[in-house]
Amino acid sequence: MKTPTQTNAIDFDSAKLQRLGFGQPSLVPRRPTTITQLRQQLGLQLQTSLEPERILGVFFREIQRLVPLDALQYRHQASDLRLEFGHRGHHTVSYSLSHEGEHLGELIFRRNQRLVEEELGQLESLLATLLYPMRNALLYRAATRSALRDPLTETGNRIAMDQTLQREIDMARRHLNPLSLLMLDIDHFKVINDTHGHAAGDTVLRAVAAAIKSQLRNVDMVFRFGGEEFLILLSNTGRDAAAMVGERLRQAAQTQDYRADGTRIELTVSLGCSTLLAAESAESLLRRADSALYVAKREGRNRLAMAG
């Protein structure tokens, strides 16, 4: 059975905002009973957060004072952001939000009963209240992600790692789940820089990072730990499973086709693996992974060593 779909595009500019009643000061009642009152209240409520999930959650809850809905979905591909509230309905209507050429994501409303024209008009009027809150939230999200990412490899940086590691340890203990850490180092990376130049070295770093990410689950996290070192955090992963992941990463990195000036660069990586022990600190978990990596290098490189 084909799902009925209504698709709309909205581009809010200042003229349309004025047409929808913005820019006209008025008092906000405690319990709105008209679309004008609800729009005014939303305009205030949605400005109080920079979290997309909170903004859309409030919006979804409040608009149902006028237009009952079964679900709301939001997608913003550039931010890798997908949110969903409620339960799926048979009928959908979608809106592509943009402002002055800037894409602000796609909203999909779902309901078991088809939306009538009056309800669509109310939704479109209320959508105006999302414009600036979502734009600010997306800008804040982009700035935050940029501050926590290594610009060369598009992996997390040391700041992100420090923030994430303790949180993952706490979660693993709370839910009684295993947690493992892989420390990966590119073998003889200095030789690559000295022989082929730093531009080639940067290309290799990006390619190795891409190879690592291609082998991991969405829940796993990759950080650039040092110059040519990467740290991979494997949630809900015990010692044996982590060893299998480490070996897969080693092989994936080795089989990449690295080239500089038409010459193929032979490359291998070494890895150390540690799995969280009872009452172990983040510093100890890192230290044991680093010690295992040292063992892998001492024993000839291009291998995985497990912490004791």
CA angle 144, 146, 152 (to 5 degrees): 160
The encoded tokens of residue 147 equal: 């501050």
* Closest C-alpha among 118, 109, 132, 104 to residue 46: 132
CA dist., res. 176 & res. 169, Å (int): 10
Neighbouring residues of 223: CB distance < 8 A, sequence distance ≥ 6: 150, 155, 156, 157, 158, 160, 161, 164, 230, 231, 232, 233
* Closest C-alpha among 104, 108, 41 to residue 69: 108
228 is catalytic: yes
The encoded tokens of residue 307 equal: 């912490």
Q: 108 with 82: CB under 8 angstroms? A: no
List beta partners, residue 257.
none
Neighbouring residues of 291: CB distance < 8 A, sequence distance ≥ 6: 272, 307
CA dist., res. 261 & res. 47, Å (int): 53
CA dist., res. 265 & res. 260, Å (int): 7
CA dist., res. 102 & res. 110, Å (int): 25
H/E stretch holding 83: strand 81-86
The encoded tokens of residue 108 equal: 């999909």
Backbone angles phi, psi at 62, to 5 degrees: -75, -35
Q: 40 with 34: CB under 8 angstroms? A: no
Which of these is catalytic: 84, 154, 228, 229? 228
Residues acting as catalytic residues: 228
